[in-house]
Amino acid sequence: MLKESLLEIFERDLRKLSEEINLYRDETTLWMVENSINNSAGNICLHLVGNLNHFIGAALGNSGYIRDRDSEFSLKNIPKKELIVDIEKTIVVVNKTLQSLSENDFTKDFPLEKHGKIVKTDYMLLHLLTHFNYHLGQLNYHRRLLS
């Protein structure tokens, strides 16, 4: 049951990320930072895609993805179309990886430490989902403030 719920919610929320990126009429606004806003929507998108590809794709699915976390925050002015393609690829990776997990896999230790601590896979996946939605909310607010 957890597996089906995670599959549905990750895909739903990744599609919401794509929708939010598409709602930016002006691509320069996608990369703006102003006042106390530290990260652009474009960088938040790169971070979310990198995070899921790293922790789900590479750690659980052995996808071979190599994360460059610094680039998630330093790259700028990537075309909106490229971001959307990256989101679509991430949907495929997340779905493929989660589909491959058995119910027993969710109770196993996650292969990477979380802040120096070993956690179970189900815990880590729930953490990744809440982390994703925290930043998705930031991105939505960024768009409405600057559009």
Residue 147 is predicted with a pLDDT of 82
Residue 36 is predicted with a pLDDT of 84
Count structural domains, the chain: 1
Q: Residue 45 is part of a domain; what is its CATH number?
A: 1.20.120.450
Can you give the residue range of the structural domain that contains 114? 2-146
| pLDDT per position as a tens digit, 73-128 | 999 999 999 999 999 999 999 999 999 999 999 999 999 999 999 999 999 999 99
| pLDDT per position as a tens digit, 57-78 | 999 999 999 999 999 999 999 9
Residue 141 is predicted with a pLDDT of 94
What global pTM score does this model have? 0.96
To 10 degrees, the CA torsion angle through 15, 21, 23, 24? 180
- 109: which strand partners? 120
